[in-house]
A and B are shown apart, each in its own frame.
Chain A
Amino acid sequence: MSALEPDELTRLLTEAVEPVRPSPDAYRQIRAGIERRRRLRLPVFTLGGMVMAALIALAVVAIRPSPNNQTVEPAAPPVMPTNYTAPTQAGTVPSSGGSGRPGTGGGHGTGQGGGTAATPTPPRTRTTTPPVTPPASTATPSSPASASTGVGSPQLPTPVAKPAGVNDIDGDGRPDTVAADGTTLQVQFSRDSQVARVPLSGLTTPLNSAVVDIDADGFGELLVQTGVANGLKSYALLRYTSLDTLTAPALPSGLTLTAGVRNDTAYGFRCGPDHTLQINVGTSTDGSQFSVATTTLAFTPDGLTAQGTASSTARIPSDSSPFTVACGTLS
C-alpha cells in the first residue's frame, strides 16, 4: 500500500466537492437571518435587563438588614403598665423571699398609696444585680444588669426631668421608696410599683442613704452606707441602669467609696461640679497634715471613669475636711 500524497489528497478532495453549488438565494437568506437577529435583539436585551433588575432587587432585599435588627429610639416616654413583668422575671417572683409581703408600697407610705391601691396584686419584687460590696470598703459590680437579668440591651425609660427630682431614681418625676430589710436594700419604684432588692452585706440600720442625680441624666443615683468599721464608713453607689434594675457602677481600681480618717490614712468623696464624683484619698505622717489626691470620676455607660487627679494638702481637724461625704443629704 503506497502512501497517499498530500497533493493527491488535495486534488481528490477538491474534485469531490466540485459539484457542490451554493443555492442562489443564500445571500438573501443570510440577510434575512441578520434582520431576524436584529429584531430579536431589542426584546432579548429588554428581557435581560428586566431579569438583571429583578436579580439586583432580590439581592438588595436579601442583603438589607431586617427592620427587626434596627434600634429605634422611642420618641415619647413609654407608658409602662402597672402589671408589666419582664419575661425573665416571671420565674423569680415565687422564689423571692419578699414576694409575699403585700402592701409593701403602702407600708412605706410615701405618697404612693394611690398607685399601689390601684394594683390588685401585691407589688412584685425584682431581683437586681447584687453589687459585690466588701463589708468595709468598696462597691464593685460583678456584671452588667443585662447579663444577669436576661433582658437584652438596657432599656431606660425617658426621664421627665433632668436632673431628677427629689428621691426620684426611676425618672418618673415622683419619689421612690428606699428601705432596708436586714442586709437587703429594697427600692420600690414609683413608676410601676416594682421592688428591686439589692443584697448589701453590712447594711447599717437605721438606713443611711441619699438619692442624688450626680450625672444629671434624669435618674437619681442611690448612695447608701454599707458599713462602718474603725472609723471608716463605706458606701455603695447604685445606678438605675434599666427598667427596675439597680446596678453598682465599676470604680477604677484602687478607689473606694469610703469616708473617715484612720491613723494616717483618710478617705472622702463628694459630688463634684460638671456631674462628676470626686474621691479624696489622703495620707499623712503626723495624723493632721494630709496630702490629698483627688480623683475626678465621670459617669459612662461602662461605669465610672477617671478623668483626672489633683493634689492638695489639708489639715484636720478643720472646718472643711475633705474626708467626709458631701453628696446630697448623705453624711
Chain B
Amino acid sequence: MPARSDAARSDVARDADAALTALYSEHYRSLVRLAALLLDDIGLCEEVVQDAYIRVHGAWGRLQDRDKALAYLRQTVVNLARSTLRRRLVALKHAPKPMPDAASAEEGAYSLVERAAVIQALRELPRRQREAVVLRYYADMSEADAAAVMGCSVGSVKAYTSRGLSALSGKLEGLR
C-alpha cells in the first residue's frame, strides 16, 4: 500500500507541475494585471499572483474539478488581494509616518499605470464595487462566476457592478 500511495503522490506531483507550467504560460500575465486593478500597491501584484500559483499547486491533489484551475487561481488572487489590503491597512494605522522614498526602478515601469486615471478612479471605489467591476469587465466573468469568486450572491454582484459603473462614469467623465 505505501508503494502505491507513493506512486499516486508522484503522479499528482507530476500533474501539478505540468498544470502549473501550462497555467503560468497562459494566464500569469492576465492574473498580474487583474491583481494590478485590485491592489493599490502594484509592487505586490506579482507576489500575490505567485503565492496563488504556489497554493493552487500545493492543493492540486485536492482540487475537485481540475478544469476549473483558472477559476481557483482567480479566486485565490482575489482572496490574497483582500488579505494584503487588510494587512496593509492595519500596518498603516500603526506604523509611524515614513520618510519620503526615493523612486525605485519598478516605479518607472509602472508609471503609466500609476498615472492612468481609470486606475485612480477604480481605487477610489469601495472594495467590493471594485472587485465586481474588475471581475465583470476586465476578467470578463459572468455574474455567477464573479459571485462565486467574491463569495456573495448574484444579486449583490449586480448591485455592486451597477453602483461601481455609475461611480466610475462620474469620475471618468473627462476622459471620454
Contacts and interface: CB of A to CB of B under 8 A. Distances in A.
Interface of A: 1-4, 6, 8-10, 12-23, 26-27, 29-30, 33-34, 37
Nearest to B111: A19
A26 B46 contact: yes
Contact of B36 (A2, A9, A15, A17): A17
B116 A9 contact: no
Interface residues of B, number: 42
Contacts of A20: 29, 32-33, 36, 42, 45, 110, 113
Query: Interface majority SS on B: helix, strand, loop or mixed?
Result: helix
Contact of A30 (B20, B33, B112, B119): B20
18 contacts: A2-B169, A6-B136, A9-B133, A9-B168, A12-B172, A13-B118, A13-B134, A16-B113, A17-B36, A20-B33, A20-B45, A23-B46, A26-B28, A30-B57, A33-B50, A33-B51, A34-B57, A34-B58
A4 B172 contact: yes
Contact of A16 (B20, B24, B116, B173): B116
Contact of B140 (A10, A16, A22, A23): A10
Contacts of B57: 30, 34
A20 to B, nearest CB: 5
Nearest to A27: B24
Contacts of B137: 6, 9-10, 13
Contact of B28 (A17, A22, A33, A37): A22
B169 A3 contact: yes
Contacts of A18: 33
Contacts of B169: 1-4
Interface of B: 20-21, 24, 28-29, 32-33, 36-37, 42, 45-46, 49-51, 53-54, 57-58, 109-110, 112-113, 116, 118-119, 122, 133-134, 136-138, 140, 165-166, 168-170, 172-173, 175-176
B109 A21 contact: yes
A321 B110 CA distance: 123
B58 A19 contact: no
Nearest to B30: A17
B32 A4 contact: no
B138 A10 contact: yes
B29 A13 contact: no
Given A4-B168, A9-B165, 5 more contacts: A3-B166, A6-B137, A16-B113, A20-B33, A33-B54
Contact of B50 (A2, A3, A14, A29): A29
B113 A17 contact: yes
A185 to B, nearest CB: 76
A27 B58 CA distance: 15
Given A1-B170, A4-B172, A37-B54, A22 B113 contact: no
Contact of A19 (B50, B113, B136): B113
